[in-house]
Amino acid sequence: MKNHVLAALLAAAIPIAGCATTGAVGGTAGSTAAYTAAQSEVARLTAQANEHVLLRPWSGPHGGVPPWDQANPELLPTAFEIGIALQQAEVDAIASNPAAPTFANTIEAMQSAGAHLDRAGTIFSVMSANVATPAVQAVQAEWAPRLTAAGNAITFNRALFNRIDTLYQTRAGLGLSPTQLRLLERTHSQFVRAGAALTPEQQARLGGINQELSSQFTEFNRRLLADENTAIFINREADLAGLPQSLRDSLRAAAVERGQPSAWAIVNTRSSVDPFLTFSQNRRLREQVYNTFKNRGDNGDANDTNAIITEILRLRAERAQILGFETHAHLRMADTMAMDPDRAQELMMRVWPAAVARVEQEVADMQAIANRQRANITIEPWDYNYYAEQVRRDRYNLDQNEVREYFVLDNMVEGAFYMANQLYGLSFREITGTVPVFHADVRVFEVSDRDGSYQGLFYLDNFARTGKRSGAWASGYQGHETYTGTTITPITSNNNNFVRGAPGQPILISLDDAQTLFHEFGHALHGLLSEVDYPGLAGTPRDYVEFPSQVHEHWVLSRPILDRFARHYRTGEPMPQALVDRINNASTFNQGYTTVEYLSSALVDMALHYRTDAVADPDAFERETLTAIGMPDEISMRHRLPQFGHLFSSDAYSAGYYSYLWSEVMDADTWEYFEASGNVFSPEIAAGMRNIILAEGNMSDRAEAYRRFRGRDPDVDALLRTRGFPTE
């Protein structure tokens, strides 16, 4: 299905691959009367949908853009009602077609079904993540299960599946192109794994589970956002000791936004908490801020998420059993590069011991500094970032505040554009003000290819605000497609949560922030450079999709980017080589912390879902699992279960948080490939990146694609070398 809403729901429910027993299928042709009636309904509803601003084809420049200036949550219910009805009528027309099934009248026709609902769903998803007002949240609570039900109705349409299955069983003689054959096979697998071949009784229960899950995901998101919209206010300037001026300015701006102009606000999100924990000299406040952040969703109040998590786990376990899978992890991983939970576990446990050993060294170094200062403490989790920064200064003569002065946000945005130009020939021209946006913060760029031809649009939303979820992410508003004979060009976005500084002052970001910027931009490039013919082949496996984003982080510290864009915010001078050398010397510093913080979350995720019975007490399970794997006392998981949105705001990363590590193997191996060439903008390697890694989407097997690009499988040792761990 082309439909953004349905595709998201199907992806959340199941991976798009694998096989289960389909059983015998019956006839494939429908009645002429039913077909005629469905076509008439499609025509009637299409005319109605084309009158609704959230449903009709996008108009305006660049082939059409989202009508953000006319979008409001009050319009969504009517849009969903019409859109769902139209999509169902389109599917009924395909399913009841009296002609024998062909690729064109079934598989290709399905690619177009739901286009109107897709547009409303795109607008709704962006609003939900970026401007989640109470009105938007109310729509989400009401319509998430109804949209899921609409998806179930299509998945469980027996006549539709019979046509798909007939084509699948006879695919060898259909004369399809490789791309068409792959789309047919993946469509069939998607429907099978969504329950299309189950009995009516099984489908009824599975449909109920899917609707219940969508409601639970929505409520989890609502509660987490409520906790993240809180803040700790500081009223005494003395309590800001150690904080750089740029951070003080951002905390003051956050307080002003929250109606306390004489205070400083530490908002309960990572972008505000992490820098405070790194620089604050006030240990009591560090502990308070840390515990408040780590206990999001776990306070036994109206925003507590533990009961929701328990119910999600129960529903997932039941669903996996209905679909014929041993566990939710087996279900989720069948369409990944790893394919099996054991392979993911094997990779994680290859890295884990070295990471834990490195943490022991890091803690010893930090404790030595604390002892030398006569702090009379034992290193606790809220001390880690603070003392790690002191070790960095002591050992490498490297101060993050010094580094931050060279990373001006706007300059690094330009640096990301320069990287895209040097690698892939893309050019970005700002056109903000010429097309509608959903918030005044959003900037818009027209993207052109090296020959000057139009490539797509890029929306950039950089700043934190109330109602915007935390973290950083990329979204695709529109993907590349050609199957109708008309080329549709991509529209992508990046959404970050950088904190504003004082009015009129440049916004300074950390090295980690700059890498996050380039990471999300890598996702955007993946969309902008797509050459996919059919939208059904756009999405890549979960443990591949992070590879193109992660590898682009490396260019932040490449000499060409540093020379041109890492310029001091006061003097304009480029970052001196001596400072670059200190950064490079410290490149593997604190990798124990970084790896353990992430990997513990991935290991708990896998343990949680790699079992036949559902966990009843998430807090207890988290503690017991961390004890079993030897989690250092001085570190906590990057995402504790009560706030683990990757796992419980949808199914997207459930049993899949390991994928960042899996992708990093390819990322590290690819960066070594560029470095070994002697040119980090090597035209030959960049061409392979563009044409094989990025442009193909899922038109070919991604493991085979990597072998075509690199000439071999990725080298796991490259990952260990990047993190500074010993190789075997």
**Active-site positions?**
520
Q: Dihedral of CA 558/563/564/565: which sign?
A: positive
With a CB cutoff of 8 Å and minimum separation 6, the contacts of 134 are none
Residues 412, 569: Cα–Cα separation, whole Å: 12
Beta carbons of 107 and 183 less than 8 angstroms apart:
yes
Residues 96, 75: Cα–Cα separation, whole Å: 32
Which strand (E) or helix (H) includes residue 286?
helix 283-294
Count Cβ neighbours within 10 Å for each residue of 103-115 and write b for 16 or more, e otherwise.
beebbbbbbbbbb
Residue with token string 């906590």: 636
- Look up residue 573 and give its DSSP letter: P
Phi and psi at 545, nearest 5°, equal -65, -25
With a CB cutoff of 8 Å and minimum separation 6, the contacts of 331 are 14, 15, 193, 319, 320, 323, 325, 655
Residues 435, 669: Cα–Cα separation, whole Å: 40
With a CB cutoff of 8 Å and minimum separation 6, the contacts of 509 are 404, 407, 408, 409, 412, 498, 517
Instruction: Give the residue among 719, 46, 100 at the shortest CA–CA distance from 354.
Output: 719
Tell me the two tokens of residue 514.
Answer: 């700059």
Beta carbons of 537 and 436 less than 8 angstroms apart:
no
- Amino acid (1-letter code) at residue 677: S
Instruction: Give the residue among 15, 602, 610, 16 at the shortest CA–CA distance from 313.
Output: 610
Count Cβ neighbours within 10 Å for each residue of 678-706 and write b for 16 or more, e otherwise.
eebbbeebbebbbebbbbbbbbeebeebb
Q: Dihedral of CA 550/551/557/561: which sign?
A: negative
The CA-atom distances, in angstroms, between 706 and each of 105, 666, 669, 670, 722 are 34, 8, 11, 10, 19
429: how many CB neighbours lie within 10 A of its CB? 10
Please, how many CA atoms are within 13 Å of residue 355, restricted to the half-sphere of its CB? 26
Instruction: Give the residue among 147, 229, 44, 111 at the shortest CA–CA distance from 532.
Output: 111
Residues 256, 426: Cα–Cα separation, whole Å: 39
3-class secondary structure, 572 = coil
- Amino acid (1-letter code) at residue 320: A
Residues 131, 442: Cα–Cα separation, whole Å: 12
Residues 672, 230: Cα–Cα separation, whole Å: 43
Residue with token string 């003097």: 571
Instruction: Give the residue among 124, 42, 121, 55 at the shortest CA–CA distance from 87.
Output: 42
Residues 227, 652: Cα–Cα separation, whole Å: 22
Beta carbons of 121 and 8 less than 8 angstroms apart:
yes
Which strand (E) or helix (H) includes residue 476?
strand 473-478
Beta carbons of 146 and 80 less than 8 angstroms apart:
yes
